[in-house]
Chain A
Amino acid sequence: MDDYVLRVDDLTMHYTTRAGDVWAVDNVSFALKKGQAMGLVGESGCGKTSIATSLLRLLPDNAEIKGGHIYLNSTDLVALEEEEMRKIRWRRISMVFQAAMNALNPVYKVGDQIIEAMENHGLVTTNETARNDVADLFRLVGLDPKLMEQYPHEYSGGMRQRAVIAMALSCNPDLIIADEPTTALDVIVQDNLLREMMELQHKLHMSMIYISHDIAVIAEVSDRIGVMYAGRLVELASAVEVFHHPLHPYTAGLMSAFPSIIGPKRALKTLPGEPPDLLHPPRGCRFHPRCPYATDICKQEVPVLKDLGRDHYVACYHPMEAN
């Protein structure tokens, strides 16, 4: 068990709204080994970003972790006081956000912002060594160290995303979460950045969680993939297993709805209906109203995530290979 960097057990998180509680994350469990890249994939509102903000304990005021544990190495982050969490955040677990412009302060030079992050965690001895460290980080992510002296608005979109990655790496954390790191970028820039991130991950033996709605991006960067639907993890397996032998009908539906530019042009299938409103999620399996294989039990009982062999977990009463 020691080689697990992260273990999430039965994590449940709610948002309180005027209309009632939103069940954003419901009994989610998974584990991540050191040096592994995990992809969390799902559609808007499926809870994938809520998991990221729960892991970092960067929740908005109306959100609350209702249950479960988040073990980073052996520390349970859920039990920590905010003061202790602050020491861990960025130092041991950091994040690359979707909107890089918002993650950087527009009125400070980019280099200074990274030095400040390191300073807050007592990682700066002298200004000169810190500058050298940041210059090394810039080279590592493919930025010219001269750019340290510039402001965020002088950067292009791809450069900003690199600076945010440099910042996430600056305190040498145990785990980095990348939430839609390339979503706003053009494909050529995206390709470049994803290659860079994968190279860094292998070189530094980093543990990563990639979050994206784009299953093609997730396919390329992840060793393991977790598929989320309506606040629940419905499938978890190696990337190849998830893509070549999807077991959950939702995963299978997602795969056959996704176009590709290579291979024969096969007909795309449509999933009927829309994801549920998490204020009033359906009983039982949350996918049952859209599922072609649903039976009575799916409408009543919540399927648990079970290993069906080959380290392939699925939460479904009628997994695909049986259908």
Chain B
Amino acid sequence: MSDGRWSLQKIAGDIPDQNMPLVQVSGLRKLYPLTTGLFQTSRSYIHAVDDINFTIPHGESLGLVGESGSGKTTTGKLLVRLIDPTEGQIHIYTSGGDTEIAHLRGRELKRFRRHVQMIFQDPYESLNPRRTIFDTVAEPLVVQGIGDLAERERRVAELLVWVGLIPPETFMFRYPHELSGGQRQRVAIARALVVNPTFVVADEPTSMLDVSIRTGIMHLMQELAERLGVTYLYITHDLAVARYMSDRLAVMYLGKIVEMGDTEDVLAKPLHPYTRALLSAVPIPDPAYKRGVPDIKGSIAQPINPLPRCRFYDRCPIAAKICADNDHPPLLDKGGGHQAACYLV
């Protein structure tokens, strides 16, 4: 019934092995050379992502939080291979088996994209204004050679219903400018999910949306994750949003993961001095609540050729000699799976 390489029935039937982790990242690094001029070799590098290691089990969405420049977006782009890593390995276990994607090229890379998709921050920029909603949502199917036109139409209509753009036939042939910000983000979600991926990187998908619209998108993403067996890497600067969108939380600072654990654990009992400062800076929607002052020095720097010591050393309120004399501390389990990269906790 289909001359495509995979039928839609096949897509819907993909159930990966639940006993394997979904994503396993080891020693991942991304360095950007600072240009020093034509024909010169660069000696300075921005260490955007610097030797990070983590595992995402199936069905346990990971929230990735940190300030601008912490490397969270770079990490997201590496995991979908929008950019190439400098070093390290990324294993993704899907229905297609274990794939090490850090060095995939060409057709293999394209095929891998059926399993891993991305949702971007700005629904005004991420949709092509000249393409209809149908063209936009169907594009991953076309690229992957899935289904014929009739099947694609059926699949797109199905997705539009799932994301709440109902009835789908009134949306299919409209253009992005005819939709509100919330509706556009629903289109972006439909596009990401149309090939039935197992892993989706969502980079600040609700930060451009107003509160009354945002909650709807958050609920939708959670509902679809459960229904379709999708696991998210949810990137955000907003810790309150991360609380609702992730089972586990990783905190990044200057290219390093400094703390990782169950979301509620990290928020209630932060271990790393940076996480503690970050959490105490978050405004609380209650005028009667008085926050403490964040205990942190100075301001964020750029990770250009960082010294071989704790990245947080200069700003840390409890820094000691051991933190300066040794390289950046490893991320270690401090009890109950709650990890921190600090010599002093």
Contact = CB atoms under 8 A, between A and B. Distances in A.
B143 interface: no
B50 to A, nearest CB: 19
Contact of B285 (A191, A219, A265, A271): A219
Contacts of A187: 67, 237, 239, 278, 281-283
B279 interface: yes
Given A259-B243, A265-B243, A268-B244, A186 B293 contact: no
Contacts of B294: 188, 191-192
Contacts of A271: 212, 215-216
A216 B282 CA distance: 9
A216 B216 contact: no
A260 B180 CA distance: 26
Interface string B204-224: 000000111111101100000
B28 to A, nearest CB: 23
A262 B284 CA distance: 8
Contact of B293 (A158, A195, A255): A195
Interface residues of B, number: 40
Interface of A: 43-44, 156, 158, 186-192, 194-195, 213-217, 219-220, 222, 239-240, 243-244, 253-255, 257-262, 265, 268-271, 274-275
10 contacts: A187-B239, A188-B294, A188-B300, A214-B283, A216-B240, A217-B283, A258-B240, A258-B285, A261-B240, A271-B212
A219 B244 contact: no
A275 B211 CA distance: 11
A243 B286 contact: yes
Interface of B: 67-68, 180, 182, 210-216, 218-219, 237, 239-241, 243-244, 264, 267, 277-289, 291, 293-294, 296, 299-300
A188 B237 CA distance: 11
Contact of B281 (A156, A190, A243, A260): A190
Contacts of B285: 215-216, 219, 243, 255, 258, 260
Ordered nearest first, which 4 A-B pairs have the shortest CB separation?
A: A216-B283, A43-B210, A239-B287, A259-B240
B212 A257 contact: yes
A187 B286 CA distance: 17
A271 B283 CA distance: 22
Nearest to A190: B281
A275 B212 contact: yes
B282 A261 contact: yes
Contact of A240 (B239, B240, B264, B287): B287
A255 B215 CA distance: 11
Given A44-B210, A188-B294, A262-B289, A269 B215 contact: yes
Given A257-B215, A274-B180, A275-B212, A219 B278 contact: no
A265 B218 contact: no
Given A186-B67, A260-B240, A261-B240, A270 B281 contact: no
Contact of B218 (A214, A220, A268): A268
A232 B218 CA distance: 28
B293 to A, nearest CB: 7
A119 to B, nearest CB: 32
Contact of A260 (B182, B218, B284, B287): B284
Nearest to A212: B283
Contacts of A188: 67, 277-278, 281, 294, 296, 300
Nearest to A158: B299
